[in-house]
């Protein structure tokens, strides 16, 4: 089980709710223009089957490239660390798997990896994840390669010393774009980025 720091459903939505995906309009104006220029002109809405909006998400139009990593247990080896991958908007208060509150608002998503330092051993089969950063604090589209600097940018999203992140991986076969359930309570959005087949847990729950 991917026991990463993942977003929980909103308090008003059961963690066992059913979800669906619908098209969304252009990225929100809160995203810096230079970053918004990297994003697709349309995104995705994640809603409960009763129509309650959980979030909206926009991915970059083209996958980041120009990098070859030799890191172990890393799936996305061509993405420069700290690259912009997307933007995320919450319309109400959310929580992550550590119980940290994520306030309503607009956030950017940047690529990173768990460090090999013993603190994250066994949390997931791969080290890839996306960092959630308040859009107001992320203005430059260039990658942020320094891990500590990237984590510092994310901490205002969680309001704690621990950053807020989403688990992701690269799908190597049987890729189906859209939203699907994984296990009892995880919901995964599969989205193609050029030749990259990205899977992102957008809603998740763990008892750990």
pLDDT in tens, 17-49: 799 999 999 999 999 999 999 999 999 999 988
Q: What is the 3-state secondary structure (H, E, C) of the chain?
A: CCCCCCEECCCCCCCCCCEEEEEECCCCCCCCHHHHCCECCCEEEEEECCCCEEEEEEEECCCCCCCCCCCCCCCCCCCCCCCEEEEEEECCCEEECCCCEECCEEEEEEEEECCCCCCCCCCCCCCEEEEEEEHHHCCCCCCCCCHHHHHHHHHHHHCCCCCCEEEEEECCCCCCCEEEEECCCEEEEEEEECCEEEEEEEECCCCC
Q: What is the mean pLDDT of the chain?
A: 85
pLDDT in tens, 55-105: 999 999 999 998 988 888 899 999 999 999 999 999 887 666 566 688 999
């Amino acid at each position: 089980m991917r026991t990463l720091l993942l977003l929980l459903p909103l308090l008003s939505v059961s963690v066992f709710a059913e979800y669906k995906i619908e098209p969304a309009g252009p990225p929100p104006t809160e995203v810096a223009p230079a970053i918004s220029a990297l994003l697709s002109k349309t995104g995705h809405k994640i809603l409960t089957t009763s129509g309650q909006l959980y979030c909206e998400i926009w991915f970059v139009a083209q996958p980041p490239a120009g990098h070859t990593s030799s890191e172990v247990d890393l799936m996305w080896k061509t993405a420069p660390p700290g690259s912009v991958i997307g933007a995320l908007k919450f319309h109400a208060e959310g929580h992550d798997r550590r119980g940290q509150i994520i306030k309503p608002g607009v956030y950017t998503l940047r690529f990173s990896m768990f460090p090999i330092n013993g603190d994250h051993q066994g949390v997931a089969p791969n080290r890839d994840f996306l960092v959630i950063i308040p859009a107001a604090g992320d203005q430059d589209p260039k990658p942020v390669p320094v891990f500590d600097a990237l984590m510092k940018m994310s901490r205002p999203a969680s309001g704690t010393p621990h950053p807020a992140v989403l688990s992701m991986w690269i799908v190597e076969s049987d890729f189906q774009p859209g939203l699907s359930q994984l296990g009892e309570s995880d919901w995964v959005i599969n989205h193609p980025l050029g030749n990259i087949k990205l899977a992102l847990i957008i809603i998740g729950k763990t008892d750990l």
